Amino acid sequence: MSDRVLVTGGAGYVGSAVVEALLAAGHRVTVFDNLSTGHRSALVGLDVEVIRGDLGDRSGLETALGRAHADAVIHVAGSIQAGESMKDPGKYYRENVVNSINLLDAIVSRGIQRFIFSSSAAVYGDPVRIPIEEDDPVAPVNTYGETKLAIERAATWYGRAHGIQSIFLRYFNAAGATERVGEGHQPETHVIPLILRVALGQAESVSVYGNDYPTPDGTVIRDYVHVADLAQAHVQALAATERDTADEASARSRAFNLGSGTGFSVRQVVDTCRQVTGHPIPSVDAPRRPGDPAILVASPRRAMDGLGWQPIHADLRSIVASAWAWHACHPNGYDS
């Protein structure tokens, strides 16, 4: 079935990949983005309307939902830097939580009952076991994760009050690129593009934050998931909200981990980037960043069983190779 979908943050890294996947699946898409970190050029050539607006503008949101004739909303927009969130928590509560409440209110006002939210593995904090399952305790150790959890909880209560069906997609580490979509963040904080900048000659070395974690090589371990696989999960989540009935309380709010199920340390990622690029890529040890758990690795079993999701680009080398191909062609990001 073809749906009309409003994607917030649809000009961003993950958002533009989601838009591309939705269009390929036959859906009609409208993007709502303030373009503060997104790039209109990421959507060039796609059959999509882009509405420039801010999530803090409730009336603008309702107008956009009306123009889109939206059947569902996929909410990708938000501030995403864990380190920054520890220094400026107010920004994260305003831009993530308050703005998401505005969006939920607009959804209720327009009578929309399908909501898919880009959440994060940061909701788990320091996990009680590895791999992490969705029913494990949630105890964020940074403001970013706390705001993601707050939005999940708010949407759950909105579901009970208004019949909204919500799916929360808890991303682990989004990485990689497609031919048209890559990481063009300013400033960049994700590890793979930071490493690749050294190979491009744009930095002398890459900083490794913390070398004394309780891991085999002392650096943090993360689960990397290709952006195209993340995007496909949103398409399958959209289909799942169509299948579910509004009177099933258990179906109104569900969380799914999106990860490969395999973890790699920062040193392993640096080594893989060296192999892919053929560049020595010097690294420099730096102090830990506040709010960084030692290990975050997903159990993706629920997404596989419940959504029919299967990560296609599951090995680190192919993820790094796809990112390198994009950055080599776009050395200055979307301004290239």
The length of the chain in residues reads 336
Q: Find tokens 């258990």 and name the residue.
A: 250
The residues carrying an active-site annotation are 144
The torsion defined by the Cα of 96, 99, 101 and 107, in degrees rounded to 10, comes to -120
Nearest alpha carbon to residue 311 among 321, 295, 298: 298
- Nearest-5° angle of CA 325, CA 329, CA 330? 110
What ranges make up the beta strands (E) of 172-219?
173-175, 206-209
In this structure, what DSSP letter does residue 94 have? I
Q: Which residues, 6+ apart, have CB-to-CB distance to 237 below 8 Å?
A: 116, 167, 169, 256, 307
Nearest alpha carbon to residue 236 among 149, 305, 153: 305
Q: Which residues pair with 5 in a beta bridge?
A: 29, 72
Alpha carbons 222 and 264: distance in angstroms, whole number: 5
SS3 241: helix
